[in-house]
Amino acid sequence: MNHVHYNRLGTNQDIAEIILDRPKARNAFTTDMAKEILELCQTIHHSEARVVLIRSSTEGAFCSGADLKERNGMSEEEWKEQHELFEAMFHQIQDMKQPVIAVVDGYALAGGFEIVLNCDFIIATKHAVFGLPEVTRGIMPGGGGTRLLSRRIPIHKAKEWILTGKKVPAREAEACGLINLLTTREKMKEESVAFAEKIALNAPLAVQYCKASIDELYSMNEKEAREVEIDFYNRCVNTKDRLEGVRAFVEKRQPQFIGE
């Protein structure tokens, strides 16, 4: 039985939607579910989709992390092999050429919060709760939590959240700058699709190069960053969409981008 589903949304079906669907376990991911997420993300990465949404099928639960019941009986070697799969899943989400939007309602904890942190944007309802409780279980976040949270919020707040293992309600998360858009359950789907469509309407290669440029430049020194930035700029200039964008502006019409 598949616990991950896939839809295409948007005016031109340009939005790929990944749906986590293991409601009885609050979408805790097993080995098989992680493989499904990884393989689906790889497929979408090579598709013509322009934006990706990741959400839950279940009200009140985005994802509670790895399934600890499955892990409980594993040998050390099996644990390590499974975690390598989880790492590949997290990295594939972060490395998608398309912008990825996490749509969160309810709990996003441990590895579930790390799925969110590996996305580019976070849309959350007022019922969302975030947390990295690993220290309370004698371990630490293993899917980017300590690396990525401090890029989203002030470092002293990241340390507080991680070292206490606290659960953070949506309002506090928003006040720290974690969330791009805070919404209601009733408007969540409508507003997340509208957010995605604003991106999908733009030239896809330009969007992808901008995302890649921002990610690469973030941790570079100024000299390296300037060289990489202009490389991405030159790639973007050498596209049919760039010429179409200029023509459309001059002709006062909506551009028709083709991703070339």
SS3 102: strand
Decide if pLDDT at 54 tops 90: yes
Tally Cβ neighbours within 10 Å of residue 136: 12
Q: Name the band, by pLDDT with cuts 50, 70 and 90, for residue 152.
A: very high
* Residue numbers annotated as active site: 66, 111, 114, 134
Q: Which residue has the higher pLDDT, 260 or 93?
A: 93
Q: What residue ranges in 57-212 does DSSP mark as E strands? A: 61-63, 100-104, 107-109, 121-125, 129-131, 167-169, 181-183
pLDDT tens, residue by residue, 181-234: 999 999 999 999 999 999 999 999 999 999 999 999 987 777 877 787 678 777
Decide if pLDDT at 37 tops 80: yes
Decide if pLDDT at 236 tops 90: no
Beta bridge partners of 187: none
Q: Is 259 left (phi over 0), alpha (psi -120 to 50) or beta?
A: left
State how far the Cα of 101 lies from the Cα of 15, in Å rounded to an integer: 10
- Please state the pTM of the whole predicted model: 0.90
SS3 18: strand
Q: Name the band, by pLDDT with cuts 50, 70 and 90, for residue 241.
A: confident
Share of the chain above pLDDT 90, in %: 70
SS3 220: coil
- Distances in Å between the Cα of 218 and the Cα atoms of 64, 102, 130, 158, 181 are 29, 21, 24, 18, 22
State how far the Cα of 54 lies from the Cα of 15, in Å rounded to an integer: 11
State how far the Cα of 133 lies from the Cα of 142, in Å rounded to an integer: 12
| Cβ neighbours of residue 51 closer than 8 Å, sequence gap 6 or more | 10, 14, 15, 16, 98, 99, 100, 101, 196, 197, 199, 200
State how far the Cα of 58 lies from the Cα of 64, in Å rounded to an integer: 12
Decide if pLDDT at 249 tops 80: no
Please, what sign has the CA dihedral across residues 211, 215, 218, 223?
Answer: negative
What value does the mean pLDDT of the chain take? 92
User: Which residue is it, tokens 């659960």?
Assistant: 167
Look at strands 181-183 and 107-109 and give their pairing.
unpaired
Instruction: Extract the tokens encoding 45.
Output: 């990465």
